[in-house]
Amino acid sequence: MALFPDSVKKVLVTGGAGFIGGAVIRRLLKNTSLQIYNLDKMGYASDLTSIDQVIKLMGIDGYGRHELIKVNLVDAKATGIAVAKADPDLVIHLAAESHVDRSISTPLQFIESNIIGTFNILQSLAKHWEKLPIDRRKRFRMIHISTDEVFGSLPPQGQFSECSPYDPRSPYSASKAASDHLVKSWFHTFGFPVITTNCSNNYGPWQFPEKLIPMVIMKAIKNKEIPIYGDGQNIRDWLFVEDHVDALLAVSAEGEIGRSYCIGGINEISNKKVVELICSILDEQRPKPSPYSRLIQFVPDRPGHDRRYSINPKRICKELAWKPKYEFNKGLQDTVHWYLNNLDWCESIMCKSNYKGERIGLQ
């Protein structure tokens, strides 16, 4: 089934060596004939293993359709050269620093990457778009991927929607909020064809092991303390990464220019419950004499820790006929199983990034 019209030939994915970007590129390789340009600075969490595996399995159909352009979006000149090289019909902008704890320790990196980087890609793409022939200008669009964290923290009731006011609480969410405003201003001021999406917490295979779910798995199998921030009752809406890819491709193909779409997994679960579920799954898949839950330890909370997130995905469900397919328990079981079978990759990327599982972000 064709995801895009035949007139769309080339796609530029920023941050394509990251967790979500890699999932997007793997799907595009498998399900389209698009030429894919992957613009990534190849930072600590960047990795091409999953993409290389797909290309190898595809053989001649995969080779030559994916090209890495190693560029940091903070470099305006290099960004402009990269855009000219890719000459895209579609841009999926995922490049961002995304780990809240790191934004507490090193906020400048988030300001530079998420705000200045988004400004530079907007500037370069706007120039590219203005020079396109009329038929290509009409089909061109940029999809800007953001987060539900820009909306702040919810009380026990209520949900985020496209109409929610912005109220970011961390350097990370503040930098993403700023990038959202930049993107929307380019639409309203210059008519630049953009669509914004705000997603909930993603999980699944190939996620860098500092994020909650892979971190818990790695700590548990190494018989190390599993930390839970505060009282563990912070609630997140969990979205399986392949469901997110489905949504992004639907928005890319059929979304309305200038519109925002909230993408949620409809899986609200406390951090404590997530950790307990992982321990239970590990008890089944890799049993030890005593339960993994004995490793759980409550630790001082993260500064400015948002209490609850919840997304109402009604708009994207109604307008683009999207809905999440993965129920959380099944998605989590599959994710734990994947990590247990890919421990070598986890150790390799942690070693490459010099990340040893330590806590980041304490003041």
Judge contact between 311 and 264, C-beta under 8 A. yes
Provide the residue type at 192 as one letter: F
C-alpha pair distances (Å), 157 with each of 153, 154, 160, 259, 268:
11, 7, 10, 26, 12
Coil vs helix vs strand at 327 = coil
Provide the residue type at 52 as one letter: D
Q: Which residue has the tokens 């392949």?
A: 242
Instruction: Identify the helix (H) or strand (E) that includes residue 283.
Output: helix 271-285
Judge contact between 54 and 113, C-beta under 8 A. no
Q: Pairing mode, if any, of strands 235-240 and 268-270?
A: antiparallel
d(CA 251, CA 185): 19
Catalytic annotation, residues: 148-149, 172
d(CA 113, CA 178): 11
Instruction: Give Cα 24 distance to the centre of its chain.
Output: 10
Judge contact between 307 and 167, C-beta under 8 A. no
d(CA 46, CA 178): 23
For CA atoms 330, 332, 334, 336, the dihedral sign is negative
